[in-house]
């Protein structure tokens, strides 16, 4: 073989370049990823999953949940809400400034979706502009301040996944820092689970859903995972772990459904799936819930 050396070098370069692209470049970009600072807070993100939840990751993997569920929220961009926090001493001037901007910037539409007014302010809207560009939000805040009101900008991540309620921001590398292996998934037969712990925090809900999805979600097409549970005769006293079901899904009389350790680990893992910290590369303004 006269061209043996050339073939070898060509193959070496082809494999070497793809190794650099698929292995070296990702390691250089993400291999040193560390806990990140949560925006406007002294907290860091993420903190590792508790032990039981970490074991649950392996149960999740073993049962092929990632065949139907993703753990990656996509985002198409961001928009700003302008919030008036104080109407100041001259509310009519604030309303006039709002209308001036409204007719200037958006002559054909109202940007406001949820109309709420600041109490005792003569009708000053709480969110005069919603889902607008940053430049417009900046101008609005300045104009409101010029007439004595106080206003601030809320950053909102937008995109189809976020509108579905699957997350507050896109998924980033930090979300998976302590997961081995990462369960990104690629097919969405069911909802994305990246933030399911914030959406459905009740571990008991998760257990009932795993045993009988249709008991909680009408016509659910998710397969039940009954082998993660034990149906057994009630002994002297019912187990404190026994799950409660409506009649249609209840076990035979005298029996109870008790989760095996795997089921509890899986429920702990699902409850730990919370990607709700605002980060530098995926910012948003957390909605403050009233205490």
* Residue 182 beta carbon to ligand HEC: minimum distance, rounded to whole angstroms: 16
- Closest to ligand HEC by CB, 197 vs 278, is 197
Query: Which residues bind to ligand HEC, rule: CB under 6 A?
Result: 60, 63-65, 67-69, 189-191, 193, 196, 199, 206, 213, 217, 220-223, 225, 266, 270
Give the residue with the Cβ less far from ligand HEC, 111 or 206. 206
**Beta carbons within 8 Å of 128's beta carbon, 6+ residues apart:** 82, 84, 98, 101, 102, 112, 140, 144
Residue showing the smallest CB distance to ligand HEC in the complex: 190
Contact yes or no for 72/171 (Cβ under 8 A): yes
Cβ closer to ligand HEC: 23 or 189? 189
- Which among 114, 156, 109, 104 is positioned nearest to 134, based on CA atoms? 156
Q: Using CA atoms, how far apart are residues 119 and 116, in angstroms rounded to an integer?
A: 9
Cα 276 to Cα 39: distance, rounded to the nearest angstrom: 11
CB of 178 to ligand HEC, least distance (A): 18
Return the number of the residue (68 or 182) whose C-beta is nearest ligand HEC. Answer: 68
> What is the smallest separation between the CB atom of 158 and ligand HEC, expressed in angstroms?
20
For residue 67, the minimal CB distance to ligand HEC (Å) is 5
Nearer to ligand HEC, 56 or 125 (CB): 56
Q: Is the dihedral of CA 200, 201, 207, 210 positive or negative?
A: positive
Neighbours of 32 (CB within 10 A): 7
CA gap 171, 56 in Å, rounded: 20
The least distance separating ligand HEC from the CB of residue 257, rounded to whole angstroms, comes to: 16
């Amino acid at each position: 073989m006269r061209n043996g050396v050339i073939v070898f070098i060509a193959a070496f370069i082809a494999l070497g370049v793809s190794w650099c692209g698929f292995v070296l470049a990702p390691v250089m970009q993400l291999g040193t990823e560390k806990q990140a600072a949560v925006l406007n807070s002294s907290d860091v993100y993420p903190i590792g999953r508790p032990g039981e939840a970490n074991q649950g990751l392996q149960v999740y993997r073993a049962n092929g949940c990632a065949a139907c569920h993703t753990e990656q929220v996509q985002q198409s961009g961001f928009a700003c809400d302008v919030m008036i926090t104080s109407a100041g001493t001259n509310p009519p001037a604030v309303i006039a400034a709002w209308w001036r901007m409204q007719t200037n910037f958006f002559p054909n539409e109202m940007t406001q979706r949820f109309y709420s007014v600041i109490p005792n302010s003569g009708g000053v809207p709480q969110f005069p502009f919603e889902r607008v560009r940053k430049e417009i939000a900046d101008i609005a805040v300045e104009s409101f301040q010029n007439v004595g009101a106080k206003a601030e900008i809320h950053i909102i991540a937008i995109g189809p996944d976020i509108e579905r309620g699957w997350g507050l921001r896109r998924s980033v590398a930090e979300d998976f820092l302590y997961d081995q292996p990462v369960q990104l998934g690629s097919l969405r037969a069911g909802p994305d689970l990246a933030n399911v712990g914030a959406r459905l925090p009740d571990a008991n809900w998760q257990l009932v859903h795993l045993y009988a999805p249709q008991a909680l979600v009408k016509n659910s097409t998710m397969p039940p995972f009954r082998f993660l549970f034990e149906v057994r005769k009630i002994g002297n006293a019912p187990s404190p772990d026994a799950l409660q079901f409506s009649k249609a899904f209840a076990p035979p009389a005298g029996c109870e459904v008790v989760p095996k350790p795997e089921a509890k680990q899986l429920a702990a893992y699902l409850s730990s799936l919370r990607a709700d910290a605002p980060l530098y590369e995926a910012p948003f303004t957390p909605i403050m819930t009233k205490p």
